[in-house]
Amino acid sequence: MIRLIFATSMLLAIVSQAQNELRPVLEKTYSAWRESIIKKDSRDWSRFTATYRRAEVRNRIVSEKRPFPAAVFELPTPPPTIAGLKFLEAKQNGRTAKASYFGKIDFGVGGDPTDNLLVLSFIQEPTGWLYDRADFVNLTALPDVRKELAAGNVKYLEETPEAQPSGVVPPTPIFAQPAKYIAKVYVFCPGREVKLLVNKISQHRFANAKEAEIVIGGALDGLNEIQYAITKLDGGTGHEAMTIRVYLFSQVQGVQPIKAFEYQVSENGEVKPFGTGTFDVGADIVAKLQGK
């Protein structure tokens, strides 16, 4: 029993030391990244942002036909400061790490902030730890969790996979060409998972969702391709209605989105698990997008 207590104490000491060493490094990175956003410093933003995240942000912006990197800094409010928040934990798994904070997270939108959870993600590269993303968790519907975190109990974090570093660094996407035509995929898939690949570059995943996402690289002149894979989720009946669509968006004020592609299944209809479809952006579509 004494040996077990000693071993447990040693383990806790090691974990505490690791957190003490990791925390200041991650906080320094986040503060520098946040400062780059506030100062609209594209050089420092690139310096402190993970490589794959930079590519992802850049691809999304140019696919929306917005200027890069200027559009990076077009935010309604600056990223929240972690000053004054209660530090909960910092954990590393391979080249990934997360730091979690609790308190009144102020996004500068007015009102009186309540106590919630902020989880910052980082990726280790040759230059050091770089910022990946921030996840905000509103605890209004989780009053017991709010009480636990206020008391320093991190059970919720330990039981939530998204709050733990995965150890997996996402691959850096290839740089997409600026879009000629803005496009979005829309999916309605209750009880199902839908994976899409548009023009062999824009990947999407929807699960039990009703959502739309920007098509990376946009739509092209002529024939465009969309591949899909559909699977039933646990709890789904397999008989739900579902829809996959691609919309094209004009930059001319007053021109409505154009539905370029649709795969739709009625309730109790047969769903193809895999498929490939196409849509054509011809002269007539282009004229409509131009408001002619």
Residue 49 has pLDDT above 80, yes or no: yes
Identity of the amino acid at 112: D
Q: What is the per-residue pLDDT for 17? A: 55
- CATH code of the domain occupying 18-163: 3.10.450
Domain range list for the chain: 18-163, 182-289
- C-alpha atoms less than 13 angstroms from C-alpha of 162 in its C-beta half-sphere: 8
Closest CA to 215 of 171, 254, 260, 172: 260
Closest CA to 120 of 68, 53, 60: 53
Q: What is the per-residue pLDDT for 20? A: 81
> Residue 155 to residues 89, 98, 149, 158, 163: CA-CA distances in angstroms?
11, 15, 8, 5, 11
Give mean pLDDT, residues 172-197: 97
Closest CA to 44 of 76, 73, 13, 15: 73
Q: Higher confidence at residue 38 or residue 113? A: 38
Q: What is the per-residue pLDDT for 135? A: 97
- Residue 4: pLDDT band (50, 70, 90) is low
- Residue 112: pLDDT band (50, 70, 90) is confident
CA distance 107 to 111: 10
**Do 181 and 289 touch, CB atoms closer than 8 A?**
yes
Residue 104 pairs in a beta bridge with 115
CA distance 5 to 237: 50
Eight-state DSSP code of residue 253? T
Q: Is 201 exposed, middle or buried (0-12, 13-18, 19+ CB in 10 A)?
A: middle
CA distance 206 to 82: 32
Give mean pLDDT, residues 158-172: 96
